[in-house]
């Protein structure tokens, strides 16, 4: 046994990071990257295969007991991520007798890389509220998408800054076990926030590209709180 760290439980949070299931723009981009500029792929939905991925993961989440443990689900406010969040953690289409589901909260800071590509532009909040009545949109300030720009693509530095902002927000939440449903590059940059605290081999494995509907679990620690507990 090679135990390297010991932290009190109250200084830790368990975070389950989940990339959305396969979406239409993922399929089209494999054929032609220029397809990502098509208006026909605006706010791309899940494919049939993506829905099957979500259903398969739902079964795993229920059978493992994870659904009972997660206290909050945070989702990107794009169609494909909310379909995934509700499909995996929600009860919108399930029997009322099924296990109760955690609240699902939509946050702009968890959305995909902004700008230029129509698949990454969101719809109006009022439309989403009709499509996803069990999702809480109270943290989204603007009805329309004011963040997506047609001529400027968000830089990786800006995504990293978003990842840091999100992790600071998450740490202030009272929940101890949280699921985050987002996008591959955004999830990677959330992990980059803590990458320097890991061995190189662990960092490479932890921060590699997410597959569609892949879930990756990490524990984050407030070392300041841990230190004060020890003293």
Model confidence pLDDT, tens digit, residues 1-28? 454 566 677 778 999 999 999 999 999 9
Model confidence pLDDT, tens digit, residues 155-192? 999 999 998 899 899 989 999 999 999 999 999 888 88
For residue 98, what are the CA distances in angstroms to 84, 85, 90, 221?
Answer: 18, 16, 10, 33
Distance CA 116, CA 122 (A): 12
Give, to the nearest 10 degrees, the angle between helix 48-63 and helix 79-89.
Answer: 30
For the record, the structure tokens of 84 come out as: 């995934």
Model confidence pLDDT, tens digit, residues 23-55? 999 999 999 999 899 999 999 999 999 999 999
Model confidence pLDDT, tens digit, residues 87-120? 999 976 544 445 578 999 999 999 999 999 999 9
Model confidence pLDDT, tens digit, residues 175-185? 999 999 999 99
Span of 7-21, 56-70, 196-210, 213-227 with lowest mean pLDDT: 196-210
């Amino acid at each position: 046994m090679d135990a390297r760290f010991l932290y009190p439980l109250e200084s830790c949070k368990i975070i389950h990071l989940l990339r959305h299931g396969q979406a239409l723009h993922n399929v089209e981009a494999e054929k032609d990257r220029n397809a990502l500029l098509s208006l026909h792929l605006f706010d791309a939905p899940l494919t049939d295969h993506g829905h099957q991925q979500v259903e398969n993961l739902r079964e795993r989440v229920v059978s493992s007991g994870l659904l009972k443990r997660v206290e909050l689900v945070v989702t990107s406010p794009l169609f494909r991520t909310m379909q995934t969040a509700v499909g995996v953690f929600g009860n919108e289409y399930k029997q009322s007798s099924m296990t109760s589901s955690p609240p699902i909260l939509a946050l702009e800071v968890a959305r995909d890389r902004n700008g230029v590509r129509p698949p990454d532009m969101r719809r109006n909040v009022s439309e989403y509220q009709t499509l996803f009545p069990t999702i809480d949109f109270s943290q989204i300030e603007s009805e329309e998408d004011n963040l997506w720009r047609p001529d400027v693509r968000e830089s990786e530095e800006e995504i990293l800054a978003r990842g840091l902002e999100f992790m600071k927000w998450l740490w202030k939440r009272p929940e101890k076990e949280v699921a985050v449903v987002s996008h591959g590059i955004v999830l990677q940059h959330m992990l980059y926030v803590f990458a320097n605290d890991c061995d190189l081999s662990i960092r490479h494995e932890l921060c590699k590209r997410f597959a569609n509907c892949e879930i990756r679990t990490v524990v984050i620690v407030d070392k300041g709180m841990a230190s004060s507990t020890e003293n």
